[in-house]
Amino acid sequence: MNKRMFLATQLRKTHVQFSRKLSSKPIEDLNLRTCIALLQSCAQNQELGKGRKIHSRMLVSGHLGSPPSATSLINMYSKCNSIADAVSVFRMSTNVHNVFVYNSLIAGLTVNGLPNEAFEFYCKMRLFGVAPDKFTFPCVIKACSNILDLKNTHGLLFKLGLDSDLFIGSALLHSYLEFELMGDALEVFEGLPSNDDVVLWNAMINGYVQIGGFDKALVIFRRMADNGLIPNRFTVTGVLSALALAGEVRDGMLVHAFAIKMGYDTGVAVLNALIDMYGKCRQLADALVVFENMMDKDMYSWNSIISVHEQCGDHDGTLGLLKVMVSSGFQPDLVTVTAALPACSSLAALMHGREVHGYMIINGLNNAGNTYTDNAIMDMYTKCGSMREARLVFDKMKIKDVASWNIMVMGYGMHGFGKESLNLFSRMCESGLKPDEVSFVGVLAACSHAGLVSQGRELLAEMQPLYGVTPAIEHYACVIDMLGRAGKLEEAFELISNMSIKPNQVVWRALLAACRLHGNADLAEVAAQRVLELEPEHCGNYVLMSNIYGAAGRYEQVAELRHTMRQQDVKKSPGCSWIELSDGMHAFLNGDRSHPEEHFLYDGLDSLTACLRERGWIDRFEIFWFHVIINEISCCENKVDDISSDNIKKWTDDVTNEQMHTTSTIYNLENALIKTCFVWKMFMSLLPDRFGAQIMGLLLFKKTYSKLWRKKLSMSLF
């Protein structure tokens, strides 16, 4: 390092001396060697003005008639980013063109981003009979803008015997990697006389990573270690990227340990690669440890950890980190908000989603009309239930791809606007875009939710002949669900029997849910048998069948099912609900005691339960749910030791006669009491005015707060 600084100092001193000599001596005293040295100094320091003065003096003194003078002038103008002057010098010195002059111009054009012009002069060079040398080809290889030119140049190198030159081979290797021709790159790599250059090994590793060949990248890395080469920081970064794609967290930890041993863990690039590797391997805690221990975090570090949280499903953590990022002085960019939007979608956090969208508009992050970003915004609005805002974004899009139409088609279908979904699907086809598999999932689901049975049948029949899309299991599941909702259970079962592909658990579960809806216990048994064969450990299948038996009054089968669940250790996952208020997201699990206001919440539920019992309310249409609650209590709190089918029947009769006397807590109020709009109406009518006002007040508060947000430009995230 000291030697390099010494040489730079000497070069500056030489330049000063030459400048003084230039200003003090007469023109005739400046010989060609002095002028060339001065031009080299001007090129090194990018002093275009002084270089032009020297050029003018050389012109007056007659020093332009030699190849060295032309080469020096072209080199000076090229390095001073005045390529037009370099070409002008070349054309004015046609009588002295040799390989050095051509090499200088070709290199200058390549460095200044004009590869096509550089390759054109290379062709002229060969046309005029000037033979290229080994210094010509590295620049020519970089100037090859297509694979054919690169292959032809490689063939000439092989003919001239220059393909084994390390400098030329390195240029060939990098060019093949840019074109993602890994086979040719590997052939060049294997043919090099010396493979002790770590840069070339790194290039091969990164080349395989870019095309997704992580397994071959790891093979190259192991070969590198076998050859006794010590990986550098760039090697570690490339290998971590390969391990991230492969999901090899154990090997990733070994590379992490190696980076610590070599002192590479202080580099931001290596740490960012570690965060990405741990994130893609679903090791969120390890990624967070690396991030928190970073001394210098850059924008990529924040984007990486935010994206990792989103990939791992920690949507609350994604938005929380976004807030910390802003408070740390970093301004979110397009990558940041693109990671934040799916988090808002998953949480149905409409207010935060609007805030992110507003931030993008204010900061001009989507002025160019990026289709991918617009799709993410639309997806957020549709999943948050705001189809009006999603449609505004859709209508303003400059370029709509198939994904854009699919999002809107699925959004309208998901929220019950079946006819609008079908209308958009027709418009997409009329626009010239060909619907794909996702398009048909969306439109068939829309037909299912809106009860458009005939349209759904037609679409399924037209998929293959009109659109060239082969019906997949997802499409059949949508149609089965559609027929089941419409009460056409026999037709749904017939469709399953005649499917061109083997039905899976999704199809059978759709039929099972339809049987529960319409109380067809016999067909439900057939569907349940198939579902339980395919998914014996899925709790939802047992719950569905248990509900069907309960609704049919077949409580012995209910007891058998629940006994089977306990024997196979199948447990029902607790339901989760959440609400977005001014102070953030509030999530609740069944029987949850973790909320800071849990005493207030449970006191309120107990008061509601007591009030309902005093007024004699019971859901005659969903009586079985009380049986579920009693079983929950017997399993969780041991308040009931044994509940036989006779006891259940006797207890049910008592309930039917409104003679129920129990002090047990109703655990899942939503599932147990509020099942249909009719039941909800009964539930609200029996509540005292003060309770009804409180519940409606909470609902109105959420709606009012959403309206108030529109008047605020700044919210909690930014």
pTM above 0.95, yes or no: no
**Is pLDDT above 90 for 46?**
no
The helix (H) or strand (E) run that includes residue 11 is: helix 2-24
Q: Are 577 and 587 in contact (CB under 8 A)?
A: yes
**Is pLDDT above 60 for 274?**
yes
Average of per-residue pLDDT across 648-670: 36
Residue of 642 and 309 predicted with greater confidence: 309
CA dihedral 156, 162, 168, 169 (to 10 degrees): 90
Neighbours of 2 (CB within 10 A): 6
**Is pLDDT above 50 for 667?**
no
pLDDT of amino acid 570 = 65
What distance separates the 2 farthest-apart alpha carbons in the chain? 124
Domain ranges, ordered by start, for the chain: 371-571
**Is pLDDT above 90 for 478?**
yes
Quickly list DSSP for 169-211: HHHHHHHHHHTT-HHHHHHHHHHSS----HHHHHHHHHHHHHT
Tens of pLDDT along 295-316? 999 999 999 999 999 999 999 9
CATH class of this structure's domain 371-571: mainly alpha
Q: Is 63 exposed, middle or buried, given 0-12, 13-18 or 19+ CB atoms closer than 10 A? A: buried
**Is pLDDT above 90 for 256?**
yes
Q: Are 456 and 479 in contact (CB under 8 A)?
A: yes
Tens of pLDDT along 75-108? 999 999 999 999 998 988 877 788 999 999 999 9
Residue of 306 and 656 predicted with greater confidence: 306
Q: Are 511 and 480 in contact (CB under 8 A)?
A: yes
Distance CA 712, CA 389 (A): 17
Reported confidence tier of residue 496, pLDDT bands at 50, 70, 90: very high
Reported confidence tier of residue 342, pLDDT bands at 50, 70, 90: very high
Own/partner contacts of 107-112, CB < 8 Å, gap of 24 or more, are: 107/75, 107/78, 107/139, 108/74, 108/75, 108/77, 108/78, 108/79, 108/83, 109/78, 109/83, 109/143, 110/139, 110/142, 110/143, 111/78, 111/79, 112/78, 112/81, 112/83
Query: Highest mean pLDDT: which of 193-202, 337-346, 554-563?
Result: 337-346
Residue of 29 and 232 predicted with greater confidence: 232
User: Looking at this protein, which amino acid is placed at residue 327?
Assistant: S
Report the candidate in 181, 195, 203 with the shortest Cα–Cα distance to residue 223: 195
Which of 167-181, 211-225, 633-647 has the lowest average pLDDT?
633-647
Average of per-residue pLDDT across 68-77: 90
Average of per-residue pLDDT across 39-58: 87
